[in-house]
Chain A
């Protein structure tokens, strides 16, 4: 009766929970199961505290790093749930549900040699794209990373990405680091620099919806396929409540189950 289990609710040990930027934290969770099963683009839903009803819902967070012993989550403190998460201590147990959803399809860059992945992040969107950059560079493919952030202080993962061998371009809203303006402007300029083989190039993006819509437009204009990780408000994370509906050209899809990664041209922007 029981099918192959793909997701579980398990307690992982918090190995570290550290601040990496004014509003950003990284939590390392020890769990052999999550380490084995997680793929870039999938997410994990955590319960910030056990036995309380406020906050009630879990918090969905993209898988930021996959190691031998567990996974890491990178999160921005934006409200009561993430504020409490930031207070959790090393050594405590945390209730995790995952891995959930469908991740990025890497074959877009691995099936051809000399292929190039263009990764575009806005805000905390850098979280899942870092895991992807690790996977792409591990396969000896070129990764070009465009980081969009509010200010220079909000730019995270830049050093680690360079260490992986990724080329990194930064854009900030206020111009305190890199290009002043939208990260998608940089993507457009990069694409305009010369024709690219759509068989050998793929765009991957995660960030606020307007940014993803802009990426989808660039993808269409340049003919390069794009995959976007689409964060919709979620409750169950497993396809049961239909809360995370996304309108696509194939009708309503669920961000938690059919996504969060979708082909950019699937979504009705």
Chain B
């Protein structure tokens, strides 16, 4: 069975990865998984300087979903490089470092920190976090604006040779246009979706459930919308698309790949079932066997319509 997938200059042993922000920096899961066997781990988004994050409560459960407003709490990229990245690189998995900034220059500076012995297997640009605001632009997310998306991606592209994945927000009218802008900027792949804007209300207390009022929705509740977004992006660009959103099982992985995803990231499921990764990969392999498919890549975009 050939599960390998190549994106940019990086070859991954299999197409099932852990999504940013739902897997820490990997070490928290060692009691449950052999991290080295994972296709890739996308680390929690880091920023140039440390960030305190949003006030509690930062989480609330909704029907088959999770609303979060973590607010990119992290200790800053320099600390991350010293304390977390070396371990993850040694673990044997592919380390994908997710970075974010408030300005184009901050994205570039972050990417420039990740060179030499600190070079990860890939960088994921998080231009789609719903829980932070940033300066400039008329939209609240960089990835809601195709011009800004292309500008940030091409600036980072010029500053690094590392495989570059751009993570997109589904909170747009036409995801195809944004995916194309990322491609034009020089992205090696796009990953989608980040969370959907949402909120929950405690009617008894007449208050929002989240300390930050609004948050981002993830989990099985968003899977149908994420599948559609992945298919739209796949139909708009020639670079690989990485599918994210509500994956719980190996069959869900197949669904995303049929819609055009070359690889997938599982997020919220890790928070419910820390060993989920093992099960999902096993189920996906069983699916391929059942369908007599020898190369996972042969599944990509093969939706029968």
Contacts and interface: CB of A to CB of B under 8 A. Distances in A.
Interface in A33-86: 47, 53-58, 81
Categorize the interface residue count of chain A: 20 to 34
Interface of B: 21-24, 28-32, 34, 36, 44, 52-53, 56-61, 63-66, 68, 70, 73, 91, 219-221, 248, 268, 270-275
Given A236-B271, A240-B24, A252 B58 contact: no
Interface in A1-30: 1-3, 5-9
Given A1-B36, A252-B73, A245 B58 contact: yes
Given A1-B34, A242-B73, A54 B58 contact: no
A250 to B, nearest CB: 13
B219 A243 contact: no
Contact of B64 (A1, A3, A56, A97): A56
Given A56-B64, A232-B56, A239 B31 contact: no
A2 B70 CA distance: 29
Contacts of B274: 9, 97, 236, 238, 240
Nearest to A2: B30
Given A232-B57, A240-B23, A241-B22, A53 B70 contact: no
A23 B42 CA distance: 42
A243 B59 contact: yes
Contacts of B23: 240
A269 interface: no
Name A's interface SS.
loop
A1 B65 CA distance: 34
A234 interface: yes
Contact of A233 (B29, B57, B220, B270): B57
Contacts of B29: 238, 240
Q: Which of B22, B28, B34, B219 has the most CB of A within 10 A?
A: B28
Given A236-B271, A239-B28, A241-B271, A57 B34 contact: no
Contacts of A2: 30-31, 34
A6 to B, nearest CB: 7
Contact of B28 (A235, A240, A244): A240
Nearest to A235: B271
Contacts of A47: 272-273
B272 A56 contact: yes
Nearest to A58: B272
Contacts of A257: 28
Contact of A242 (B34, B44, B60, B63): B44
B53 A54 contact: no
B57 A3 contact: no
A252 B23 CA distance: 18
Given A53-B248, A240-B271, A243-B68, A235 B73 contact: no
B34 A56 contact: no
A5 B30 CA distance: 8
B268 A56 contact: yes
A128 to B, nearest CB: 20
A242 B273 contact: no
Contact of B272 (A1, A7, A57, A239): A57
Given A235-B59, A243-B68, A57 B271 contact: yes
A241 B68 contact: yes
B84 to A, nearest CB: 12
Nearest to A6: B31
Q: Which of A233, A239, A252 has the most CB of B within 10 A?
A: A233
A244 B55 CA distance: 10
Interface string A224-267: 00000000111110111111111000001000010000000000
